[in-house]
Amino acid sequence: MPRSPRTIKPRSPRTALPDARRVPRFAGIATFCRCPRLDDVPPAGRPVDWAIYGAPYDSGVTYRPGARFGPRAVRDASQYIKRFSIAHRVDITENLSLADAGDAPVSPFDLPGSLDAIAAFASTLADPGTRLLAVGGDHSIALANLRATRHRLGGRTRPALVHVDAHLDTTHEVWGSRYSHASPFRRAIEEGLIDPKRMISLGIRGPLNSRDDLDFARAAGITIIPADELIGAAAPRGLARVARFVKSLRGAPTYLSFDIDAVDPAFAPGTGTPAPGGLSSAEALALLRALRGVNLAGADVVEVLPDRDHAGMTALLAATVVFEILSLAALSTAR
């Protein structure tokens, strides 16, 4: 337990949160993690390091719909998110200027059009160097946030990708559509948005519709660590593999895509394509903490379906995932 105490100097926070003792967490209009709305960030709070926005779109699902209500549920649950990470000993508000940028425009009947609209919205948010954290919505919206992230990175930099999910999401097409929550990474690779040789998919488990998805992923060079290797007694070895992957990136810009269905439905029932045999919530948080040292260029948290989420536990876990992502980001900019 004893750790060398870090000297903590009083600092002015880069994100001003409401004082929870004066404005209780159960009061007021909900924004992600109680961050200021983007329009309310004072000049002193600029540039904004991370803009968190909702992508309330779920017309890309192959099974149970309802994730369009995800951003609203995660905003609500995130009122209980606090600022200091015990695991990383970092305060997200001291190191990062954070803002809630509202929700991206969507058109429920038009999937490709909505992805274009979300990408266009995200591409111009806040300041040129602002990084984007999208809260879905189904996993199809990851493609839009990846396009916007790639646009911001510019040049020839294709980010690495850490993908946490029960499914590979590399299906070519479903019902004749090349866009859906089953295909975002196949399209992202084709569009040159990510480097598949520096992509890792974590928490994968069967069954699959066909072996084609797996064949494509393997041929593209994606590293796959199945759920079995990240849970229970196997977890320490699996997490060590994850940490080695992060180290191999040597600080390269990396996108993190977190599908809540990576977590077992016993812990995260509120999702549209649940898959038993997944990570516990504690194992999922340990997995995220194992990414320490990663240089995050963008992220998404997707597939929360509030209608199936009794007790709001899935939305609260998703809000906690947002916090863990921001903690990783804060670490890399810690002053």
User: Rounded to the nearest whole angstrom, what is the least distance from the CB of residue 258 to Mn ion in the complex?
Assistant: 9
The residue among 68 and 139 lying less far from Mn ion, judged by its C-beta, is 139
Window contacting Mn ion (CB under 5 A); options: 1-9, 162-170, 215-223, 327-335: 162-170
- Chain residues 256-315 in contact with Mn ion, contact rule CB under 5 A: 259
CA distances in angstroms from 60 to 27, 109, 169, 232, 320, listed in the order given:
34, 10, 12, 33, 25
The DSSP element (H or E) to which 84 belongs, if any, is strand 84-85
Q: Residue 58 or residue 259: which is nearer to Mn ion going by CB?
A: 259
The residue (of 63 and 84) whose beta carbon lies closer to Mn ion is: 63
The strands making up 295-302's β-sheet, listed across from edge to edge, are: 98-103, 50-55, 131-136, 295-302, 253-259, 160-164, 199-204, 223-226
Residue 15: strand, helix, or coil: coil
Nearer to Mn ion, 245 or 258 (CB): 258
Nearest approach, Cβ of residue 9 and Mn ion (Å): 42
> Least Å distance between CB 190 and Mn ion?
17
Which x/- pattern over 133-152 shows residues binding Mn ion (rule: CB under 5 A)? ------x-------------
We find the least distance from the C-beta atom of residue 141 to Mn ion, in angstroms, to be 11
Rounded to a whole number of angstroms, the minimum distance from the CB of residue 235 to Mn ion is: 21
- Pinpoint the alpha helices (H) of the chain: 70-77, 92-95, 111-123, 141-153, 184-190, 212-220, 235-249, 281-289, 313-333
C-alpha to C-alpha distance for 250 and 266, rounded to whole angstroms: 36
Give the residue with the Cβ less far from Mn ion, 15 or 223.
223
**DSSP-assigned letter for residue 334:** -
Q: Does residue 324 touch Mn ion according to CB under 5 A?
A: no
Residue 125 or 287: which CB sits closer to Mn ion? 287
Query: What one-letter code names the amino acid at 313?
Result: M
Q: Does 165 bind Mn ion (CB under 5 A)?
A: yes
Look at residue 263 and give its three-state secondary structure: strand
Minimal distance, residue 175 CB to Mn ion, in Å? 17
Strands 84-85 vs 90-91: parallel, antiparallel or unpaired:
antiparallel
Q: Tell whether residue 169 is a contact of Mn ion (CB under 5 A).
A: yes
How many C-beta neighbours within 10 Å does residue 334 have?
A: 14
Q: Which residues bind Mn ion (CB under 5 A)?
A: 139, 165, 169, 259
